Amino acid sequence: MSQATARAHSNIALIKYWGKRAGPRNLPAVGSISVTLDALYTDTTVVFDDTLSADCAQLDDKPADTARLTPFLDLVRTRAGIDTRASIVSANNFPTGAGLASSASGFAALSLAATRAAGLELDARELSILSRQGSGSAARSIFGGFAEMHRGTRDDGSDAFAEPMLEPEDWPVEIVVAITDTATKSVNSSIGMSHLDERSDYYQAWIDHSESDLAAMRDAIAARDFETVGALTEMSCLKLHGLMMSTRPGLIYWNPATVAAMQAVRSLREAGTPVYFTIDAGPQVKALCAPGYGEAVARSLEGVPGVLETRRTALGPAARVIA
Ligand code: PMV
């Protein structure tokens, strides 16, 4: 029996990933740029146990489906040359599956815990490539601070990995998450983004502009130009949701409180607070705040009708083994 426990933090994309390249290995159609969040994380323990006849899993103290986990563990077993089944115990310190990137922190933590428990010592790039095969956004949660995920061009996925851009202390922007609904989302991202070439007339435009959006964001981050980073972040978010709404059947992840929180962010900005919103495949609004503005933004968003709670967070560290 061998075991390891890892912690990985959630991340949110400033330039969004949505859409897959054809073929196996979960290859992204576009690159993405994200920030890792200190206050939202997953702790995962993996035990390879000779007495087990099948993999088993527990998430937040409840039995969890292993349909997506066993093929992922098989990647680790093949690499380690073992056949042993595993028990996974995982806990999020935030609502699961509600657009708070639990699959990102979850698969990043699982990659690290499972490889260590199997006796493997993968470097960060190899871990990022492995995590991507569980969930595209998980490739970015291997790193702290700002990270960029490369789309890659190879069919084997060996060049589709994330890389660190800035450490948290290099530019301590803050994020306020406004939670508007804690229910599990109705259409998960893998289903939402499948076969977009056949399902959305906007998909090609999304792909065509992705490289220039990434390049503009890289430059703005390097220059610590908060207004440009923020404007690109809102634009990428709204483009993503335009693409989602254009998909057959149309995907609408927002509720009235989501829209109210977006408008509140824009009102704050008009009144001089440096803050911009972004939203993933769920109804929560994440406000990107210039250093020092998190507390004031959190206080304002708490007063928006329909906002249930806010979480304020700094940028977080890379995934790591904790036991
Ligand atoms: O990693 P997935 O398959 O859960 O997809 C993530 C998609 C978005 O969160 C909407 C965007 C992103 O880049 O994280």
| Centroid of ligand 1 to alpha carbon of 281 (angstroms) | 7
pLDDT at position 97 = 60
- How much is the pTM? 0.97
108 Cβ inside 6 Å of ligand 1: no
Ligand 1 atom nearest 136 alpha carbon: 1
| Centroid of ligand 1 to alpha carbon of 210 (angstroms) | 15
Reported as a single tens digit per residue, the pLDDT across 5-15 is 999 999 999 99
Mean pLDDT of 224-245: 98
User: Could you tell me the two tokens for 246?
Assistant: 């254009």
Q: For the chain, what is the mean pLDDT?
A: 96
pLDDT at position 4 = 98
pLDDT at 185 over 70: no
Reported as a pLDDT band with limits 50, 70 and 90, residue 245 is very high
pLDDT at 163 over 70: yes
Q: Dihedral, CA atoms, 132, 138, 139, 143, nearest 10 degrees?
A: -160
Mean pLDDT of 171-199: 91
Q: Of 10, 245, 184, give the one whose Cα is nearest residue 109.
A: 10
- Rg of the chain over CA atoms, in angstroms? 19
Q: How far apart are CA 314 and CA 311, in angstroms?
A: 10
Reported as a single tens digit per residue, the pLDDT across 190-213 is 899 999 999 999 999 999 999 999
Ligand 1 atom nearest 103 alpha carbon: 4
Q: What is the per-residue DSSP string for 55-67?
A: -EEEETTEEE--T
| Centroid of ligand 1 to alpha carbon of 147 (angstroms) | 14
Ligand 1 pocket check: which of 18, 92, 103, 254 to mutate, most ligand atoms within 8 Å of Cβ?
A: 18
| Centroid of ligand 1 to alpha carbon of 189 (angstroms) | 6
Question: Can you say how many angstroms the Cα of residue 307 is from the centroid of all Cα atoms in its chain?
Answer: 21
Reported as a pLDDT band with limits 50, 70 and 90, residue 94 is confident
Q: How far apart are CA 288 and CA 174, in angstroms?
A: 6
Query: Do you find a cis peptide bond into 249, omega within 30 degrees of 0?
Result: yes
Reported as a pLDDT band with limits 50, 70 and 90, residue 183 is confident
103 Cβ inside 6 Å of ligand 1: yes
Mean pLDDT of 11-34: 97
188 Cβ inside 6 Å of ligand 1: no
Reported as a pLDDT band with limits 50, 70 and 90, residue 99 is low
Ligand 1 pocket check: which of 27, 92, 137, 206 to mutate, most ligand atoms within 8 Å of Cβ?
A: 137
Ligand 1 atom nearest 104 alpha carbon: 1
CB 110 within 8 A of CB 44: yes
pLDDT at position 186 = 72
Mean pLDDT of 83-108: 87
Q: Which residue would you say has higher pLDDT here, 96 or 203?
A: 203
pLDDT at 278 over 80: yes
pLDDT at 96 over 90: no
How many residues would you count in the chain?
323
Q: How far apart are CA 111 and CA 128, in angstroms?
A: 8
Reported as a single tens digit per residue, the pLDDT across 115-149 is 999 999 999 999 999 999 999 999 999 999 999 99
Q: How far apart are CA 136 and CA 129, in angstroms?
A: 9
Mean pLDDT of 173-202: 91
Ligand 1 atom nearest 135 alpha carbon: 1
16 Cβ inside 6 Å of ligand 1: yes
